[in-house]
Structure 1
Amino acid sequence: MTKSLFATSEFQRDWLQKLEALRTDFEGSAKATDEEARFPQQNIQQLVDLGYTSLTLPKEYGGAGCSIADLVLFQETLGSMDGATALSIGWHQGVVGEIYEKRQWTEDQLAFFAEEVKKGAVVNRAVSEAQTGSPTRGGRPGTQAVRKGSGWVISGEKNFTTMSPYLTYFLVGTWIEEKKAMGFFLVHRDTPGISIRENWHVIGMRGTESHNLVLDEVEVADERLVEVQQGPRGNKVNGWALHIPSTYLGIAQAARDYAVKFATEHSPNSIEGTISDLPNVQTLIGQMDLEMMQSRYMIYGIARSYDDEVTRALVSHELGAAKYTVVNHAITTIDKAMRLVGAKSLNLDCPLQRYYRDVRAGLHNPPMDDMTISKIAKAAIEEMKSHR
């Protein structure tokens, strides 16, 4: 597999071996996870037990100091097994990685949370709201945090809360009028006033159970206010967001592998040999592999640039471009796989239809395509103006 070209360290090869040992279980449960729209709790627990969820903690906090390139490789691998599992755990991995890279929390908060993660805690940000749309577009959250004594009271409702049945902590984005700023609170799921509104009725990534998080006068201590931010989060460069396209790259790989296997085995009585000998089928296979190569070299190249302290400062719009390229290529790759397999690809017993539905969700993960293209164009225009 071309992916093996990007496993360049013993650490990566060791973890690929550990993750591959889960493939039979993850692939075996993926169909039921999708059909029942059921969160793959057993899969996530296996990853927690394996120590995967602490990889993005820095070594000084007891983690592995996992790099962006490491994460892309691992998430791509998980994506090729089960998209819902990969995207779900990817949010945790990315959130933890970003927290310890940015170091916006106090040392006490960082130390406390590292211990929680090592004990198996799983976290995700709860930011999106029905009225504001994607948080990357700068809308002010309707969820409010109001001072009460030495702590805070939070009320509001968040949608798209991936892993809602399993999360230990919610990193809740709120508007704090007192500070005229957006703040994030680390809220444990057992805090009184927390509930989940089950309304995840979708056709793709069904197993993520990205239900609504409801906060009804949730009281938290002052030390649970961990971040205060001016301006939209979408303006911040975050290399850990590459966990998103890496998952979709893995799903595309699974579709490609299924289609190529089908082509080498399917032998209708109208031809000699298998359909893999037909020029039109070979064209589809070649096009799929070319798209996979383009996506893979782009995302790994950008990941490694971000990991390098010398070039990290130069990486900005490339992150959005990687997500744009990988997700859109994944969609067209799976479309070609379905064309190759034919009408069978629409059968609910065929995984291709699940892959096709799951990758469509990538269009709605941040950053959105229009924002990526707009930022690239504006950067080009500003650069040209600066040279006049």
Structure 2
Amino acid sequence: MKSMFDALVKNERHQELLDKASRIAQEARKHIQQTDEDANFSPETLKVIKSEGYPSLPVEKEGLSLYEFLLIQEKIAEGDGSVALSIGWHVGVMMELSLDSLWEPHAFERLAKEVREEQKVVNRAATEPATGSPTRGGIPETKAVRDGNQYVVIGRKSFTSMADHLDYYIVSAYVEDLDQVGWFLIDRHQPGLKVEHTWDTLGMRGTGSHDLVLENVELNVEDLVEVKGDKKASPKGWLLHIPACYLGIAVAARNDAIAFAQSFQPNSLDTTISEVPHIQEKIGQMEWKLMQAHSYLYSVAKQWDEEPERRDEISADLAAVKLAVTNTANEVVDLAMRIAGGRGLSKQNAFEKYYRDVRAGLHNPPMDDAVISMLAKRAMEK
């Protein structure tokens, strides 16, 4: 079976990174059944992620290009999309902080040093039950109240991927004395912080995206590391880790569908179903759709890396890529399910999990309606 990665690997470093991702994917695959049942992230997989030095890649001397990031993410997602999406948030956040200089240098370097030396893992905790996705502009109900040289933070965050396993949380809150939204860097061991196991979704269960509860968490003023509006918002190329993840799920479904078609021979046929015209048509459609998705995703990533001066101009492409690739991934998985037939619905096969997991991409930011509206407005600009 021809690998979808052959055309994407351009040099020796790409291959080394792909090998690293393959080892993570292999470990993740061992724990899929358990993490899907428990709705939690695998600590064994996290150990391999850290032993491979993946958390520190964006803050090492060599850095990590967007193209390389997507390549690794897609490969890990072939093993388990939940693992790719979860660790992708950490890597993406570190890339953003490093590139956009959102924090004071000493605050960022303190975190980066721990990531480099101890492979510590961090994620933003921004979503709340009442506000929905933070990309919609809702003000956090989580509040930070100044008390002398401290802040007291009270609130609840949902969709906190890898909640049980993060070393730090970057928590958004409404900072009353500043009348602004701010972000606090909070150590996982801080008193008043706890994780409630609320994650009970159809797909991407292995992300363990439980609720983070803050009950009178006392923080130093220096823990307020970022205030919204202090820095000009820049396009977030790193968010392309989201479509890369769902594309990896689609590739895994494609691989399994081809393997199934080449091995399954009902007693009504003299050959495997891979020789049946309508099965070949579905395989061809999967290839065509995946070729388009790969071309669009990685060409935009390459442009981001090679033409940094034009990043503001390609912000619309970043959003459009997410819309195009995640929807294509859903279409590919649907085709794979049609090839597998009724067997694809069985828990004995991976197809039903691909089907559940890939749906989640439609609900990661930016949302389809927001992208379509943005593109329409841009098209009508004079």
| CA apart distance, 1:231 | 10
Question: Could you tell me which residue of structure 2 aligns to residue 295 of structure 1?
Answer: 293
Question: Could you tell me which residue of structure 2 aligns to residue 367 of structure 1?
Answer: 366
TM-score, normalisation: structure 2: 0.96
Question: Could you tell me which residue of structure 2 aligns to residue 377 of structure 1?
Answer: 376
46, 49, 53: which one aligns with 1:47:
49
Give the 3-state SS of the residue equivalent to 2:103 in structure 1.
coil
| CA apart distance, 1:30 | 1.3
Question: Could you tell me which residue of structure 2 aligns to residue 93 of structure 1?
Answer: 91
Question: Could you tell me which residue of structure 1 aligns to residue 64 of structure 2?
Answer: 66
Q: Aligned partner of 2:375: which letter?
A: I
8 Å CA contact retained: 1:136, 1:232: no
Q: Aligned partner of 1:102: which letter?
A: D
| CA apart distance, 1:45 | 1.6
Cα distance in 2, alignment partners of residues 24 and 95 from structure 1: 25
Q: Aligned partner of 2:224: which letter?
A: L
- Single out whichever of 155-164 and 314-323 deviates more from structure 2: 314-323
Change (3 A) 1:171 1:22: closer
Q: Aligned partner of 1:195: which letter?
A: K
- What CA deviation, in whole Å up to 9, does each residue of 1:256-288 have, x standing for no partner? 000001111111121121111111001100011
8 Å CA contact retained: 1:138, 1:231: no
| CA apart distance, 1:58 | 4.9
Question: Could you tell me which residue of structure 1 aligns to residue 351 of structure 2?
Answer: 352
Q: Aligned partner of 2:279: which letter?
A: V
Question: Could you tell me which residue of structure 1 aligns to residue 204 of structure 2?
Answer: 205
- What CA deviation, in whole Å up to 9, does each residue of 1:36-85 have, x standing for no partner? 323112111211111011011152xxxx3001110000000000001111
In the alignment, structure 1 segments of 5+ residues that lack a partner are none
- Single out whichever of 262-271 and 35-44 deviates more from structure 2: 35-44
Alignment of 1:106-125 (within 5 A): 106-118=104-116, 119-125=118-124
In the alignment, structure 2 segments of 5+ residues that lack a partner are none
TM-score, normalisation: structure 1: 0.94
Question: Could you tell me which residue of structure 1 aligns to residue 58 of structure 2?
Answer: 56
Cα distance in 1, alignment partners of residues 351 and 90 from structure 2: 27
Question: Could you tell me which residue of structure 2 aligns to residue 6 of structure 1?
Answer: 8
Give the 3-state SS of the residue equivalent to 2:314 in structure 1.
coil
Question: Could you tell me which residue of structure 1 aligns to residue 268 of structure 2?
Answer: 270
Cα distance in 1, alignment partners of residues 40 and 195 from structure 2: 15
8 Å CA contact retained: 1:137, 1:232: no
| CA apart distance, 1:27 | 1.6
Cα distance in 2, alignment partners of residues 195 and 236 from structure 1: 32
Question: Could you tell me which residue of structure 2 aligns to residue 257 of structure 1?
Answer: 255
Alignment of 1:134-213 (within 5 A): 134-213=133-212
Cα distance in 2, alignment partners of residues 257 and 32 from structure 1: 22
Cα distance in 1, alignment partners of residues 183 and 214 from structure 2: 14
| CA apart distance, 1:225 | 1.1
- Single out whichever of 72-81 and 145-154 deviates more from structure 2: 145-154
8 Å CA contact retained: 1:88, 1:162: yes
Q: Aligned partner of 2:129: which letter?
A: A
Aligned length in residues? 378
Over the matched positions of the two proteins, sequence identity in percent amounts to: 42
234, 238, 249: which one aligns with 1:240:
238
